[in-house]
């Protein structure tokens, strides 16, 4: 299927969540017709950008003689394949669906390249809503390298393969989510890394890589790190770092100094809204945080969390090498390289499993940044990016058998390590 500039063949977008909304916005911007969106929550959504949202049962009335393109708006390749197979079984008369993420990525990249050619900047909030791995977008990379303070000293003649990573700055959180991908309720000790340690580690990684187009601050609740303003100030001043993403639940009221730092145009905030799971002071803090973000002109994207996927309890799945590679390739977290305690992990599930003692750390699947010389660090970072699978994939249900669970179910904080009988986890 190719995009039809004349707009003679309309699109039907399956999925009215964040991915669906983003796709509809892109189609509207490019003047491409949208017939409707399809979602099981249609009675509460009603419409997106003026386009009706219908229940999936409406698809039974569609006929092959009326041409349209059916797009499944989900970010995960595994989720797309699962929905594609269900649609083929339930509605065999429908055309073969298109993966919405691939379509949205292409349309967004073309749009943003046009902006850059016209000397306009990109919209970080659009990037945050567009794709989970913006550092793979050529327009995002071009814009990031324009705003970086200066080109860093590179090891070798060209930048390394790593251009995107996150720092897990604290495992403290205001919430105790049963299915947290970072397994926060199951840590025995609470740890918050110092500004000095974080900046030292980040600067070594950036110097070794050449450029980091997107750097993210994650947790835990990031705003529980009292040095967050100093951390952000230091990150923004680091040569070679382009854009900065901050992830927060907004359940801590930010200080005036933090608000000043977050107002920087190179920063975008992902503000998770856990809705009914917030009450009392946490709900009041969330509303106050959002008001302060609006008052200080902070760029933030509100992410409504309704459903997560259960990742399991680190039990082995006994996958063969081919299945491991397929699981890794289809995983939504392959872009989530994270650092904690001076060690770089390939994904947050791996990070949690190793730190909790539930997963091993095979050679080459993590990088011990503090214990490598500069040359060895560059080589290890490149190798980590090029991995085709990791052992953690053999202990994760995300791309094989994961089921949806309500987001942010709260449990009592557990002070023991996860056992196979413990509640399942997820994002």
pLDDT-derived band of residue 329, with 50, 70 and 90 as boundaries? confident
Burial tier of 357 (Cβ tally within 10 Å: 0-12, 13-18, 19+): exposed
The residue among 109 and 263 whose pLDDT is bigger is 263
Give the mean pLDDT of 343-347. 97
Which residues in 224-327 belong to E strands, given as ranges?
A: 241-248, 267-273, 300-304, 307-312
Give the number of other Cβ atoms within 10 Å of residue 372's Cβ.
Answer: 16
Is the confidence at residue 359, as pLDDT, over 90?
yes
Q: Could you tell me whether strands 366-368 and 343-345 are parallel, antiparallel, or unpaired per DSSP bridges?
A: antiparallel
The whole-number pLDDT of residue 420 equals: 34
pTM of the predicted model over 0.85: no
- Burial call 190-204: b when 16+ CB within 10 Å, e when fewer: eeebebeebbebbbb
Give the mean pLDDT of 229-235. 98
- Burial call 387-424: b when 16+ CB within 10 Å, e when fewer: eebbbbbbbbbbbeebeebebbeeeeebeeebeeebbb
- List the one residue out of 37, 33, 58 whose CA is nearest residue 48: 37
Element (H, E) at 214: strand 212-218
The whole-number pLDDT of residue 8 equals: 63
Q: Rounded to an integer, what distance in angstroms lies between the CA atom of residue 360 and that of residue 213? A: 30
Q: Rounded to an integer, what distance in angstroms lies between the CA atom of residue 159 and that of residue 209? A: 6
List, for residues 265-317, the tens digit of each pLDDT value: 999 999 999 988 888 999 999 999 999 999 999 999 998 877 888 888 899 99
Burial tier of 239 (Cβ tally within 10 Å: 0-12, 13-18, 19+): middle
The whole-number pLDDT of residue 363 equals: 95
Name the 3-class secondary structure at 393.
helix
The whole-number pLDDT of residue 29 equals: 86
Is the confidence at residue 17, as pLDDT, over 80?
yes
Name the 3-class secondary structure at 391.
helix
Is the confidence at residue 250, as pLDDT, over 90?
yes
Q: What is the total residue count of the chain?
A: 427
- List the one residue out of 128, 122, 106 whose CA is nearest residue 21: 128
Q: Rounded to an integer, what distance in angstroms lies between the CA atom of residue 242 and that of residue 142? A: 10
Dihedrals phi, psi of 187, to nearest 5 degrees: -75, 140
pLDDT-derived band of residue 153, with 50, 70 and 90 as boundaries? low
Give every CB contact of residue 56 below 8 A, 6+ residues apart in sequence. 14, 38, 39, 40, 90
> Tokens for 312?
């399991």
List, for residues 236-247, the tens digit of each pLDDT value: 999 999 999 999
Is the confidence at residue 217, as pLDDT, over 50?
yes
Burial tier of 337 (Cβ tally within 10 Å: 0-12, 13-18, 19+): buried
Q: Rounded to an integer, what distance in angstroms lies between the CA atom of residue 344 and that of residue 371? A: 12
List, for residues 71-119, the tens digit of each pLDDT value: 999 987 878 988 999 999 999 999 999 999 889 888 888 888 888 999 8
Give the mean pLDDT of 19-38. 92
Give every CB contact of residue 375 below 8 A, 6+ residues apart in sequence. 155
Give the chain's largest Cα–Cα span: 65
């Amino acid at each position: 299927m190719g995009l039809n500039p004349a707009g003679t063949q309309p699109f039907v977008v399956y999925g009215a969540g964040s991915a669906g909304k983003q796709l509809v916005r892109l189609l509207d911007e490019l003047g491409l017709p949208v017939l409707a969106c399809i979602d099981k929550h249609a009675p509460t959504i009603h419409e997106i950008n003026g386009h009706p949202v219908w229940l999936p049962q409406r698809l039974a009335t569609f006929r092959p003689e009326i041409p349209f393109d059916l797009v499944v708006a989900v970010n995960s390749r595994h989720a797309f394949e699962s929905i594609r197979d269900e649609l083929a079984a339930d509605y065999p008369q429908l055309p073969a669906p298109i993966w919405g993420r691939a379509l949205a990525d292409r349309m967004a990249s073309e749009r943003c390249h046009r902006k850059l050619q016209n000397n306009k900047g990109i919209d970080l909030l659009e990037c945050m809503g567009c794709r989970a791995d913006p550092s793979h977008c050529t327009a995002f990379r071009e814009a990031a390298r324009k705003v970086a303070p200066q080109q860093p000293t590179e090891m070798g003649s060209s930048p390394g393969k790593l251009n995107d990573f996150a720092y897990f700055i604290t495992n403290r959180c205001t919430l105790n989510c049963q299915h947290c991908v970072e397994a926060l309720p199951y840590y025995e000790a609470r740890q918050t890394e110092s500004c000095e340690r974080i900046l030292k580690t980040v600067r070594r990684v950036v110097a070794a890589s050449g450029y980091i187009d997107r750097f993210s601050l994650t947790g835990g609740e990031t705003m529980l790190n009292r040095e967050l303003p100093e951390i952000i100030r230091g990150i923004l001043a680091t040569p070679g770092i382009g854009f900065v993403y901050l992830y927060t639940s907004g359940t801590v009221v930010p200080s005036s100094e933090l608000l000043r730092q977050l107002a920087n145009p190179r920063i975008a905030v992902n503000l998770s809204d856990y809705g009914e799971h917030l009450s009392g002071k946490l709900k009041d803090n969330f509303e106050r945080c959002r008001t302060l973000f609006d008052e200080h002109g902070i760029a933030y994207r509100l992410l409504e969390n309704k459903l997560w996927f259960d990742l399991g309890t680190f039990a082995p799945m006994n996958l063969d090498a081919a299945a491991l590679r397929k699981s890794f390739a289809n995983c939504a977290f392959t872009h989530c390289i994270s650092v904690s305690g001076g060690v770089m992990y390939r994904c947050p599930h791996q990070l949690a499993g190793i730190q909790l003692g539930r997963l091993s750390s095979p050679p080459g699947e993590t990088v011990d940044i503090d214990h490598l010389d500069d040359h060895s660090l560059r080589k290890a970072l490149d190798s980590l990016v090029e991995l085709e699978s990791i052992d953690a994939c053999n202990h994760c249900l995300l791309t094989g058998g994961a089921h949806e669970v309500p987001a942010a179910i709260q449990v009592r904080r557990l002070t023991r390590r996860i056992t196979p009988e413990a509640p399942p986890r997820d994002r």
